[in-house]
Structure 1
Amino acid sequence: MYEPPFATPTRQQLQSTIAELDQAIYNHEQWYKSLLRVLISHVPAETADLLPDAHRRCRFGQWYENVPSAFLRQHPAFLSLQHAHRNMHDCARNLLQLVANGSAIPPSSLDLFENTLDKMRLEIHALRHEFMERVQNQDPLTGALTRIGLLSWLREQHSLVQRGVQTCALVLLDLDHFKDINDRYGHPAGDRVLVSSVQCLQALLRPYDKIYRYGGEEFLICMPSTTLEEARCVAERLRDSIAAQRILCDGSDQMLQVTASFGVTMLDQSLAVEDAIDHVDKAMYEAKTAGRNCVVVGA
Structure 2
Amino acid sequence: MPKHSGEASHFINELDAAVEAHMGWVRRVLRCAVLGTPPSDDVLDPLAHSLCRFGRWFALNKRNLEKLDAQKMQRLDIVHQNMHDAIRAICTEMLAGRGGNSADLDVFEQTQSELVNLLAELKTRVLANAARHDPPT
TM-score normalised by L of structure 1 = 0.41
State how 1:21-36 maps to structure 2 within 5 Å: 21-36=15-30
Q: Which has the larger radius of gyration?
A: 1
| Aligned partner of 1:48 among 39, 42, 48 | 42
The structure richer in strand per residue is 1
| Aligned partner of 2:107 among 109, 112, 118 | 112
Q: Residues 166-224 of structure 1: CA distance to partner in whole angstroms, max 9, x if unpaired?
A: xxxxxxxxxxxxxxxxxxxxxxxxxxxxxxxxxxxxxxxxxxxxxxxxxxxxxxxxxxx
Assess if the C-alpha contact under 8 Å between 2:3 and 2:133 holds in 1.
Answer: no
1:73 CA drift (Å): 4.8
Assess if the C-alpha contact under 8 Å between 2:86 and 2:108 holds in 1.
Answer: yes
Aligned to 1:123: 118
Q: Find the aligned partners of 2:49 and 2:75 in 1 and give their Cα distance.
A: 14
- The amino acid that maps onto 2:68 is H
Aligned to 2:57: 63
Aligned to 1:79: 74
1:132 CA drift (Å): 2.8
In structure 2, relative to structure 1, the CA distance for the partners of 1:133 and 1:93 (3 Å cut) is same
Matched, 1:92 2:87: yes
TM-score normalised by L of structure 2 = 0.83
Where has structure 1 moved over 3 Å in runs of 4 or more? 137-142
Assess if the C-alpha contact under 8 Å between 2:5 and 2:134 holds in 1.
Answer: no
1:117 CA drift (Å): 1.2
Assess if the C-alpha contact under 8 Å between 1:81 and 1:123 holds in 2.
Answer: yes
Q: Find the aligned partners of 1:131 and 1:8 in 2 and give their Cα distance.
A: 7
Aligned to 1:294: none
Assess if the C-alpha contact under 8 Å between 1:81 and 1:120 holds in 2.
Answer: yes
The structure richer in helix per residue is 2
Aligned to 2:96: 101
In structure 2, relative to structure 1, the CA distance for the partners of 1:70 and 1:86 (3 Å cut) is closer
Assess if the C-alpha contact under 8 Å between 2:31 and 2:37 holds in 1.
Answer: yes
Structure 2 unaligned blocks of 5 or more: none
Report SS of the residue matched to 2:120. Answer: helix
Assess if the C-alpha contact under 8 Å between 1:9 and 1:71 holds in 2.
Answer: no
Q: Which has the higher contact order (CA 8 A, sep 6+)?
A: 2
Instruction: Indicate the percent of aligned positions where both proteins have the same amino acid.
Output: 25
Paired residues in the alignment total 135
Aligned to 1:202: none
1:83 CA drift (Å): 1.2
Q: Find the aligned partners of 2:7 and 2:63 in 1 and give their Cα distance.
A: 11
- The amino acid that maps onto 1:15 is S
Structure 1 unaligned blocks of 5 or more: 1-6, 143-299
Aligned to 1:9: 3
State how 1:1-299 maps to structure 2 within 5 Å: 9-67=3-61, 70-76=63-69, 77-135=72-130, 137-138=131-132, 141=135
Assess if the C-alpha contact under 8 Å between 2:86 and 2:107 holds in 1.
Answer: yes
Assess if the C-alpha contact under 8 Å between 2:2 and 2:126 holds in 1.
Answer: no
Assess if the C-alpha contact under 8 Å between 1:28 and 1:60 holds in 2.
Answer: yes
1:124 CA drift (Å): 1.1
Give the RMSD, CA atoms, in angstroms. Answer: 2.4
Report SS of the residue matched to 2:3. Answer: coil
